[in-house]
Chains A and B, each alone.
Chain A
Amino acid sequence: MAVRVMIPTPLRVYAGKRDSAEFRAGTVGEALAQLTGEFDDLRRHLFTDDGNLRSFVNVYVNGEDIRYLAKEETPTKDGDTISIIPSIAGGSCR
């Protein structure tokens, strides 16, 4: 058993076309670090150059938004599922 990270369709090309990956991780941050460690090309689409999650990238553990939990320190246990869902933003200026 491990933590399963679901990889969204637009990013699968950077993850060997896989739709999910499993890691032994005690927190969301650890799981994402292992994910981007294994698939380095994913990193820039999830994190800013400063290492922060991009503002439009939303992460859920078993359907719960980690912003309302402990963010990247949110603990995970075997069998948990981490989902990554973008919010979509844009606009005409700058």
Chain B
Amino acid sequence: MSEALNLSINDVLVEKIRQQGAESYPNECCGALLGRDTGAEGKSTRTAREVLEIFPLVNRREDSPRNRFFVTAEDAHDADKAAQAQGLDLIGWYHSHPDHPAKPSEYDREHAWPWYSYIIVSVQNGNPRDMTSWRLQDDRSAFAAEEVAIRKSSQGLSEVQAAGGRAWPYV
């Protein structure tokens, strides 16, 4: 995967994800990312992908919700229908890591598909901290970090908060 991966999202949606993570603490939260992926089409070296809405979901994992999340196929289907109803695509998923870093676990890798963006927010003692985004590599061996640009929703200007997969403190 040689092309740079990037994901654009506005600050209001970022705050919603972070708040959901805080409200769900000490359990994991989860939801779907709805938006558009116009694709590089072999011309650009950057994949244009933008989150335009989120679709919060219930963590269906009842036996260990503090370190696991589960979205049923039915809920995933509902998220897809919600995207279609808004003329968008289901481009990925988000979840929180309570009291753990915003890095994908081996369990995350085993249960992922490529192409989707996977946003992870770390929640420490109930407070949302770092947020990162990842995509599974074609050979399933590892996740590749996505560069995330957080747009100011009021100004529409891009403000790059992270690059190269480094976690960033949200300010």
Chain A residue with minimal CB distance to B66? A92
Size class of the contact patch on chain B: 35 or more
Q: Once the chains bind, are A87 and B113 in contact (CB under 8 Å)?
A: no
* Bound: A55/B111 CA distance, A: 8
**Do A90 and B108 contact each other (CB < 8 Å), given the known contacts A9-B89, A10-B113, A10-B116?**
yes
Chain A interface helix/strand/loop/mixed: mixed
**Do A10 and B111 contact each other (CB < 8 Å), given the known contacts A44-B139, A91-B69?**
no
Q: Once the chains bind, are A88 and B105 in contact (CB under 8 Å)?
A: no
* Bound: A88/B115 CA distance, A: 14
Mark the stretch among B10-18, B71-79, B150-158 that contacts chain A.
B71-79
Within the complex, the shortest CB–CB distance from A13 to chain B, in Å, comes to 6
Question: For B98, what are the chain A residues with a Cβ–Cβ distance below 8 Å?
Answer: 92
Chain A residue with minimal CB distance to B96? A92
Q: Once the chains bind, are B77 and A85 in contact (CB under 8 Å)?
A: yes
* Bound: A92/B101 CA distance, A: 8
* Bound: A64/B76 CA distance, A: 16
**Count of A-B residue pairs with CB < 8 Å:** 87
Question: For A10, what are the chain B residues with a Cβ–Cβ distance below 8 Å?
Answer: 113-116
Q: Once the chains bind, are A85 and B73 in contact (CB under 8 Å)?
A: yes
* Bound: A3/B135 CA distance, A: 31
* Bound: A13/B140 CA distance, A: 14
Q: Is A93 an interface residue (CB 8 A)?
A: yes
**Most A CB within 10 A of own CB, among B68, B111, B139:** B111
Q: Once the chains bind, are A88 and B114 in contact (CB under 8 Å)?
A: no
Q: Apart from A14-B138, A45-B113, A90-B107, what 11 extra A-B contacts exist at CB < 8 Å?
A: A55-B111, A56-B111, A86-B73, A88-B76, A88-B93, A89-B70, A90-B68, A90-B95, A90-B105, A93-B100, A93-B107
Which residues of B approach A to under 8 Å, CB–CB? 28, 30, 61, 64, 67-73, 76-77, 89-90, 93, 95, 97-100, 104-108, 111-116, 118, 138-140
Could you pull out 27 A-B pairs where Cβ atoms are within 8 angstroms?
A8-B113, A9-B89, A10-B114, A10-B115, A11-B113, A14-B138, A45-B140, A56-B111, A85-B77, A86-B113, A87-B76, A88-B93, A89-B68, A89-B70, A89-B107, A90-B30, A90-B68, A90-B104, A90-B105, A90-B108, A91-B61, A91-B67, A91-B69, A92-B28, A93-B68, A94-B106, A94-B107
